[in-house]
Structures are given as structure tokens and as C-alpha cells.
Chains A and B, each alone.
Chain A
Amino acid sequence: MSWISVEKAKKLEERFGYPKVSESKGVVSVEVPKDKFIEFLKFLKEDKEYDFRMFLDLTIIDHGEKEDPRFQGVVILFSPSYQQRIIVKTWALDETLPTLTGLWKGAKWAEREAWDMFGIKFEGHENLVRMLLWETYPYHPLRKDFPLEGIKDTYLPSLNETLRGDSLEGMFNYDRMHTALPTMEDLEITQKRRMPVKTSQIVLNWGPLHPGTHGTIWFLFDLDGEYVKQCDIIIGQLHRGVEKLGENVNWQQFIPYTDRMDYIAAINENHAYVLAAEKLLGIDIPEKAKWIRTMMAELSRINSHLLWLGTYALDLGALTMFLYTFREREKIMDIIEGITGARFTINYFRIGGVFADLPYGALDAIEHLIKDLPERINDYETLLTRNRIWLSRNKDVCIITEEDVYDYGLTGAVARGSGVPYDVRKIDKYDAYGEVEFDIPVGEKGDSYDRYLVRMEEMRQSIRIVEQCVAKLRKMSKNDPYFFQTPDEKKLKVTIDGRGMKLPAGEVYASSDNPRGELGFYIYNKKDGLKAHRMRIRSGAFYNLQVFTKAIIGRPIADAITLLSTIDPVVGETDR
């Protein structure tokens, strides 16, 4: 459906001879030799019959120390004209790969991340520095020979309990030895290496702990007067190694960790992961679970957009907006808390459905909420949309073009604001999205104002979807299953608590449309197993943030706030 067909891929085999096509669970991947890699990708990008113009993701698989060749590069591309994806793979012989930045500028950060995590060098990359860790860090942590708990080589007693003497051990105290931490000098070296050539007198540091950055992002602006000439972003202060964890915990047990990526919209993070895992399992979940999941995902989207609107307006000086949106947000949180048991780190979805049915009264509360919401959104709009200060701070500010969308792999409201109707909900039609009606809002120009309008409209569309979900769920029975029931426990075991659950060998990529762009999970499983061999998380926020460094060039420094707010990254997801 949303993948290139095997026949079409086979044509590539005929044409070039060297590609090897393979298919797993509907996901089609093509393997090419390293020396033909760039040539092949260039063809895929430029040929009208294929038109894989949009860059989605680049990552590495480490097949283990004993394997030779050991590392494999994986590139995921999307074709906007055919609405198809493809995976292209090649072996990273001698631990190097040619750079893709000549074809897609968006590969820049992905390659830096691959170097950081796997130690793969990209030949021809303009400045191959680390992405998430600091420059002097000696290891590449996603390699299979790096232990999960890290290498504890730094003596750090200061965290320890001193109240009862330094005598407590084990569970009651911290280890005296800690994994490496960056010192001030390390950070200085990192900062210098990120921006090797200064063009002007002053480099302004914004963050890492500034309220306007909504988290720990560290911006470097090379300024000429008030105008930005060069910009780079240092992220990673919130890096917790979620991908590594994903390769070291069991399948259901990974869901709580996904909560902690985009903590504003945890439900959507769970969603993307369970979709990928279900695809690998090859199961179809019960109807009721599909509709509940769709409904919850849309509530979470509204929730997330309300937070975005409040903080965005707050950053631009419209303080009261924050209070209004948080009022509505509180109601949504209250409903989510009642249904799932938690407000923030929700962990409600499971591979195979959801862990519990809706509690008594849930649909009434949701109905009550969405009856009221459109009026509230109109209130917000009367405060902002036509306001002249708002207009002058947003209109024509930091334009992101359609070209950029494909080059940088932008997704979500950022892509739609630039006029690209890219929406995974429509492309993949996962869960009940194929059966609900909604429109994709798109902007005209790609300025901050368009991104604002797109998100406002998205909230209205989400309300439409929730309405349809409630109506559908009302017609169901309380006895309908909300969790997958296996036909044969011996062959296929799917449990709510995840004990003893094995997923088959294979390779899948599945994604969901999050409030912050396309969140995709690429799972590569060598053999049936309790854990994944490779768990790659394609973070929408990460790729969207990357375009910041381009869109801010030539703009005054005050626009940085507007741009960052309209890109709306969450650090938990960019850093993972």
C-alpha cells in the first residue's frame, strides 16, 4: 500500500543488475553495493517513474562484533507522487559510507548521529561532529559491544547518601562510579567544533536552560548585528539512549520508555511503537481497540496542540493565552487520567490493543468536552488570528519552502504549513483512520503564520475525528474484546503484561502522525526474539528541528522564538 511494490522494485533489479530486492511484512528493501550507493539513490530521487524525493531516515544496523561486514547503512525514502516508501541498504565496509548530504541536506544530522552512535565515518560530510554526545566522549554507544549500563569509569561520590554515613549499599544508594560526564572543557571543545568558522565578532549562546527553548536545547547564533549569519544547535542534554533500551528490554516493556520521548503526546508515541510491533507480528487487532486508539490519539493531539498554542503565545508576549489553553488542557488530562491512570506517561496502548476497556462514563466526558471545544478554539482565534501584533510577528517570518520539506524530511504541521499535504494518517490508514473523515489543512506560503493556522485547523479536524470515534464506539458492545486474542497460544503469544512474548524475525518500518511530525519505528529482528536486534526511532521533532538552522539565516534574532515555537520540537523526542 504505502510501500513500493515488489514488481516495481524488481524492475530496478533488471535495469541495474546489482540491486537485491527483499520483502518482509510488506516492507520492501533494496540492497546495493557501496560503490553504487550514491548513483542508485540519485536515480531513485530524480527518475520520474520512482521520484523518491523525500528523505525520511538514515541509520545503521550493527550486526554484531563477529560479523563481517559488520555495519549496514539503511536509508528510508518516500515518493510524494506515488505515496510510496522504500528502504535502501548497503554495507558500510571499512566503517565508512559516502555522504548523502549532496542529495538531501537533511541527511546532515542523521549522519552525524550515525557517527556519534556507531562510529561510521561519512566521506565528504562537511563537518562530521557528534550529534548527541559531547565531542571528547570516547565511545560509540549503540554498538553491540557497548554495555547497556554504560562504562562506569568516573568517580562521582557526590550523589551519595551522606545523612546516614556513607555506608548504604546497593538499592539504597548510588554507585560511587558513574559513566562519563562532560566537564566544562569538554563542552567548550564541543561548542567550538560545532561552529568551526566564525564570520562575525559575536556568537550568541541561547540555552541550554532558557525558558524560550522549551527544554534543554543549546543554540549557537553567529550574529551580524541583529541578523543571524550562521546557526547550529547542540542537543543531547536529554539523551537517555532510548534506542539502546529498546534493544535491551522486552517488547511490551518498551512502551513506558516511549512515553518518555515526547512526553507532551505520550499516547502518540506509544501508538507509533505498537503499530510497528504489530506489523512485525503480523496481527490484526480488534475493532474496538482500533477505535479507542484512534480516539485517544486525537485527544492527545489536541492536548499537545493546546500546550503548543499556550507556550507559543506566551513566548510572543500574549500571556493570557497560556491560562486559557491550560484550562481546556486540564480537562483533557483529567479524562486521560481517568481512562489510563496517568496524566503524562500514559502507557495505555499495548501491542495487540489497549490494556483495559474504557471506564464507565468515559464517552460521556469526551462528548461533553468536544461539544465545548470548538467555541474555545474560536475564542483563541479571536484573541490571536487577526491581532496586528500577532500578524506582524508571524507573517512572512522564517519561510520554509516545499523544497526544504523534501530535502530535510520535514513532517507534521511543519510540512503541511509549507503546502505539502503529507499525513501518515492518510497514507497508511492505520487503525481506524481509514474509516474516519477528516481534511488535511495545508498552508500557502510556509511562514510561521501558516504553521499556526494549520495547527489551529488540525485541532478542529481532530475534534471531528473524535466525534466519529465516539459515535462508532457507542454502537459497540461492552463485551467486544479490546485486546488481541491469540488463536493458538503455542504459536503466537501476545500478553498484556508482555511476559514471554516473542516477535518474529524480519524488518519493518511503521510510523504514526504525531503532533510533532512523523514518528517512525524501524525494527530489525534477526531471529525470533524477546528483544529487538535494532530499534531505530525516526523522530519527527529531530528532523523538523534541523531546518531551524536554515530557516533562521538572515532573520533577526527575535524571530528565533517564533520559529522554534512554530516548529514545536520536544527535547525528549529530539534527543531520545
Chain B
Amino acid sequence: MPVDLCTNVAKDSDLSPMGIYRLLPQTNCKICGETSCMSFAFKLLKKEITLDKCTPLYEEEDYEEDRRALEEMLRPLMEAEMTETGLVIHEDLCFGCGNCVVACPVNVAEDPKGCAIGNGPTSDKVILKVENGKVKAANVESCRRFGEHRILCNACITPCPAKAIEFPGG
């Protein structure tokens, strides 16, 4: 059986600020009342704003395909209830690449000289850190999925090539 000459698989359909941002017009026109498309994406995830506030998406034909994708993508969010953080690390799958360590926004904010620039953590306030070749979690109470202002953060899940991080039910 012949193989397809070339298949392109764009991975921009995940439910994350970035996944949403990719499908927005990215013009930062502020019509929605937000300062940028990225902050609009964050609010969408937190269910603090609805997609129809971005009117260019509905008015311009060029955006139609992306809009449909967005609607599809946001549907589970509209239906789901957010739960407490329930971070699970599958140690058998993790191989310590550190992608999640460097991508987690809490790690980045707590450790501008370490995680933020790609290094191992230099602060003990970080959530994710690699030890003996496997990632370990600490300080989970500062996870963005936790507490009153929790959001459906995906920043440690999307970059994991091994699918080793999961939030079951979250």
C-alpha cells in the first residue's frame, strides 16, 4: 500500500490559551473589549467572556473556518465543570525532558532565572521539577487549576511528548 506523499498534521486544536489564540484573528483590534487576542483567549478559558464578543470572527469570511474550529473546541468547556487540581504524573512514561518544567506559567513566574530561561528550577516555589530523570510535583496549591480563580491551564500537558501528565476529570 503506498503511503501518502505528504501529510501535514497541524496540532492547533487543543483547549489552551495558545490553542485558542492560534484560531483568533490575532489582530489585537480590541473590539471585544480586551487589550489583546491573547487576553481574550484567557478569558474565554475562564468562561469570563463569550466567543461572540469577537465580532470580526463572524463578519469576515476569511475567519469562518477558524471560527467553526473554535466553536467546536470550546463546546466541552461550556459543558464541563472545573474541578480541583488533580495533577497525575505517569512516571513510567515521563523521561525527564523538562518541557513541562519550562512551560508551566507558575514555574516561569516563580523562577525567572531558572525555569523561565530553560534551566532547571532555582526556586523551591516551583510546581514541577525533574529528579532522577522523572518529573515530580510540589506546591500544587499554586497550580492555576487550583483555588478560586482557577483556569483550565494546559501548559504542562500540551508540551509533554509522552503524555505523562494528566488531570483526570479536570
Asked if A and B bind, the verdict is: no
